[in-house]
Amino acid sequence: MKGFNTLLYKELLRFYKVAFQTIFAPVVTALLYLLVFASTFKGRSDILPGVPYVAFLIPGLMMMSMIQNAFANSSSSLIQSKITGNLIFILLSPLSAVEFFLAFVGASIVRAFCVAVGVYVAAIFFVPLPIQHPVFLLLFGFLGSAGLGALGVIAGIWAERFDQLAGFQNFVVVPLSFLSGVFYSLRDLPPFWQTVSRLNPLLYMIDGFRYGFFGTSDVSPDLSLAFVAAFCVGVSALAMALVGRGYRLRN
């Protein structure tokens, strides 16, 4: 496991060295969303029974920050290594595809949880936020971060330029995260858009993560957990298959 540990340490060190950009900046961005939406919709009726709108926002913002940063961590690392040419040194090492994959995704999960803790610590100064189901909270946080970290590996392998990766993030990840119930409840949508929203895997991540705090959700937490787990397994299998084949890595 020395090779895996070394690559994981390298990936952790990569985002730790620029923590102001990779951790603190996403926390500030989430807090700005919280301030803007909380002040705009101040006084509106509770979306979930007994849950003020400000409290409703915080889990969604936490999870949105986690998935966006998990994706950014693995994808940006791979595209930088490909463009600068130092990826060859990783490929020449006796690392299996599984070790390669787990190192990149593991670092993405750690960064995602660092951002989530930062958002939570800052947000509780605005409103108290109880945690009713910590196991569900950790499961959805872990699976959501792992799934988007694996998707980041796929995007980093596929992209050959920074603009291609930016397009993937701006036209796939960001719209899906914004349309996943961060700022609204699924039950507030018309029936047609409720059906469309249920096709979004990020909806189940955020709804299940919110269930961990409040014990109430729009979708059954067991169904959400099964959906998120299936998504995570699917993208992970695809990512490991691409790494194993050396798709766009050995050019």
pLDDT at residue 18 greater than cutoff 80: yes
Hey, what amino acid is at 23?
A: I
Q: What is the pLDDT of residues 82-99, one digit of tens each?
A: 999 889 888 888 899 999
| pTM across the whole model | 0.94
**What's the average model confidence in pLDDT over 177-205?**
89
- CB-count burial class (<10 Å; 0-12, 13-18, 19+) for 146: buried
Q: What is the pLDDT of residue 189?
A: 86
Show the CA angle centred on residue 143, arms to residues 187 and 60, nearest 5°: 40
Question: Around 166, how many Cα atoms within 13 Å sit in the side-chain half-sphere?
Answer: 3
**What's the average model confidence in pLDDT over 15-42?**
89
Helix residue ranges per DSSP H, the chain = 2-16, 19, 25-40, 53-84, 87-91, 97-123, 134-158, 162-168, 174-178, 191-197, 201-214, 221-245
Q: What is the pLDDT of residue 27?
A: 95
pLDDT at residue 1 greater than cutoff 90: no
**What's the average model confidence in pLDDT over 60-75?**
96
Q: What is the pLDDT of residues 197-245, one digit of tens each?
A: 999 999 999 999 999 999 988 899 999 999 999 999 999 999 999 999 9
Q: What is the pLDDT of residues 131-171, one digit of tens each?
A: 999 999 999 999 999 999 999 999 999 999 999 999 999 99
- CB-count burial class (<10 Å; 0-12, 13-18, 19+) for 33: middle
Q: 186 by DSSP, 3-state: which?
A: helix
Say how many C-beta atoms besides its own lie within 10 A of residue 229's C-beta: 16
Hey, what amino acid is at 223?
A: L
Q: What is the pLDDT of residue 145?
A: 97
pLDDT at residue 24 greater than cutoff 90: yes
pLDDT band at 101 (very low <50, low <70, confident <90, very high): very high
